[in-house]
Homo-oligomer: A and B are copies of this chain.
Amino acid sequence: MFNKLKSAFKLVLFCMIALGLGTDGFSQSLQEVMKERGLSQQDLLAAAKTYTPSGKKDEYVVFSSGGQSGQVIVYGVPSMRIIKYIAVFTPEPWQGYGIGDEHTNNILYEQGKVRGRTITWGDTHHPAISETNGEYDGQYLFINDKANPRVAVIDLKTFTTTQIVPNPIMKSEHGAAFVTPNTEYVLEASQYAAPFTNEYVPLEEFNEKYRGAMTFWKFDRKKGKIVAKDSFSVELPPYWQDLSDSGKGMSAGWVFTNSFNSERYIGGFGKGTSKKWSNRLPHEAGVSSKDTDYLHMINMETAKKLFQAGKFEMINEHAVISIKDMVANDALYLIPEPKSPHGVMIDPTGQYITVSGKLDTHVSVYDIKKMTALIKKKDFEDVDSYGIPILSMTKSLHGQVELGLGPLHTQYDSVKGIAYTSLYVDSAIAKWDFLNLKLLEKIPINYNVGHLVSAEGDTTSPDGKYLVALNKMSIDRFVQVGPLHPQNHQLIDITPGRKMQLLYDMPLPLGEPHYAVMMKADKLKTIKRYKKKWFKNRVKPGREKVVRKGNQVTIYSTLIRSHFSPEVIEVKVGDEITWHITNLERAQDETHGFTIDQMNIHGSLEPGETETFKFKADVEGVYPFYCTEFCSALHLEMMGYFMVKP
């Protein structure tokens, strides 16, 4: 018996090493080790969650922006394993996105054009899952491009981008994508103010002619598409709008966006700056000189009615409702918010709106009941230069809580009244009570957290359980892979009744995520193979052929383990080629890739999929083509010759 127990005891130590708790040897007693490291059984259990065993699937799936990678990153929680990079604004050859096939080329290079210019990257910031009654429904994902104002639609049946919509009036954006509780609209707020039209307007006319905006993109759920003609924008002052959110529950029908340059400051620091603007404070100082900026309250229902009533101006073929019309219809208000605010997040009930000021140690909790009461009474403190009524901050506030340095973003818990806020400068997460206005607990992270995400933390019924800190730096956390480090997403246990606990560090190998959303994985209704009927150019087995009409050559070909049909194709220099290609496989995951050597073409054809490639056979020669996906033991033999005769 003693030996058995001794053996058990040794195992505990093994396990502790296993859990990364370590020990300096086997000479210490378990109790000593636990005491020394301040461990409880709960600690071990919590740590255990970080490791998902072989073959077991994750409970949650996180959709994270990839930042400048122009992609969306998908990972599982609690395993913190990245399962997919979804190509959105940047061509991605593995997925065959924008490397020659007609369908994705059209999305990326035609739909995605900005002022006639082809854009081959994006700065993705905020993903939003489609919602039904304020709950994630797992059907669609939306993501924005800050650099080249655009919004993309991703179909979660296939995890592919199906639409890119450029914003016709913005020159810069940030506060997107956010959805209304039933995904009627996808919201997009501008950032650095600019003229709505495309002309040069001198900065001297900034106050008069530069503007911000909130765009309401109408989403047709049945078609899975944004409908541009049913969409509109609301003109806003040039205050540099920032993060945004749609109201829900008690605040449903309202849309919120904050701002950080109500100073309307234009910088001019540093030699080389245009004379008129030089020898002034640099932007970051000038923009931060006032103690408060403005939280914007936009009445969506009224804006919608104004749009439907034709109360708008068409600018660049897009409907814009003026500030004047919004104000005249009691649909636009400002409330002061401290200081250089970044996050605006609405609690699950919709009553409380939390704003974090990067340069204030407090978070401010606004109460929609108080705000609407003030509006009802027309109890305004002031009016801004654009005629927008300003509500009193003190009268609108439920209260403020001092959390620490650099508060940015807030997420919610399953427990009523509990919120988590990221503290950028402190490198910590604060857990606090927004009803009773008190700080409960802080946990340090590594390092410099930007956004954070909790399980279903944006919905009307958050799950709690897990929180991920999206840290901007990792410095000493991982093997160093160049001067450019990965970011570090850290998983934190937020089980009610326990202290917050850091569970796991996950490096991000590509991209600089900003925001993320975390959804129950079982809400996904992903397909295993493509349906034939989705492809008008589908080639049926036995119907392969090559058809020539003048110099137009159309190739109808199929793929199945392990050959192409046809396998030898001869054309002439100058021929215009249209190559339809169908993957006939039924088996799950039996993808075939397609490339013609040296032609800069690549497709990824999943089971059932058809793609079309158009190109000119412009240079004579011998071009092998082959299946690029290791599809079977005879994969290397799956090839053909494309012969271009002089």
Contacts and interface: CB of A to CB of B under 8 A. Distances in A.
Nearest to A359: B633
20 contacts: A4-B31, A11-B30, A14-B45, A15-B15, A57-B477, A68-B604, A83-B507, A93-B121, A117-B600, A157-B482, A195-B622, A198-B621, A270-B565, A271-B566, A272-B565, A273-B567, A283-B637, A283-B639, A284-B563, A474-B589
Contact of A511 (B51, B94, B122, B505): B94
Interface string A469-494: 00011111111111111100010000
Most chain B beta carbons < 10 A, residue from A195, A274, A507, A510: A510
Contacts of A114: 598
Most chain B C-beta atoms within 10 Å of own C-beta, residue among A47, A84, A504: A84
A620 to B, nearest CB: 5
Contacts of A544: 270-272
Nearest to A487: B630
A602 B147 contact: yes
Interface residues of A, number: 206
A526 B481 contact: yes
B527 A483 contact: yes
Contacts of A41: 7, 10-11, 14
Contacts of A565: 269-273, 282
A578 B619 CA distance: 34
B31 A17 contact: no
B607 A483 contact: yes
Contact of A606 (B478, B484, B504): B484
A53 B503 CA distance: 8
A435 interface: no
State the main secondary structure of chain A at its contact with B.
loop
Given A18-B18, A266-B568, A283-B563, A620 B199 contact: yes
Given A147-B628, A159-B481, A482-B606, 9 more contacts: A67-B94, A68-B628, A81-B478, A117-B598, A123-B602, A172-B626, A274-B570, A483-B526, A483-B589
A91 interface: yes
Interface in A259-281: 260-261, 266-274, 276-278
A199 B359 CA distance: 67
A20 B53 contact: yes
B47 A602 contact: no
Q: Nearest 8 A-B pairs (CB), nearest first? A: A20-B53, A270-B565, A15-B15, A18-B48, A159-B482, A272-B566, A93-B121, A273-B566
B479 A83 contact: yes
Contacts of A604: 68, 484
A569 interface: yes
Interface stretch (A219-227, A302-310, A554-562): A554-562
B159 A505 contact: no
Interface string A66-106: 11111001111000011111000011111100010000000
Contacts of A521: 479
* A91, A94, A342 pick with most chain B CB within 10 angstroms: A94
A629 interface: yes
Contact of A5 (B5, B48, B82, B149): B5
A528 interface: yes
Contacts of A118: 600
A48 B51 CA distance: 10
Interface string A42-65: 001101101111111110010000
A529 interface: yes
Interface in A555-613: 555-558, 562-570, 588-589, 591, 593, 595, 597-600, 602, 604, 606-609
Contacts of A529: 483
Interface string A1-29: 00011011111101111111110000000
A570 B261 CA distance: 22
Interface in A110-129: 114-123
Given A288-B634, A475-B588, A512 B482 contact: no
A349 interface: no
A234 interface: no
B598 A48 contact: no
A32 to B, nearest CB: 12
B57 A622 contact: no
Contact of A91 (B16, B120, B425): B120
A174 B639 CA distance: 13
A313 to B, nearest CB: 19
A424 interface: yes
A81 B51 contact: no
A189 B68 CA distance: 36
Interface in A350-367: 358-359
Interface in A619-646: 619-624, 626, 628-630, 633-634, 636-641, 643-646
Given A200-B620, A563-B284, A637-B260, A81 B507 contact: yes
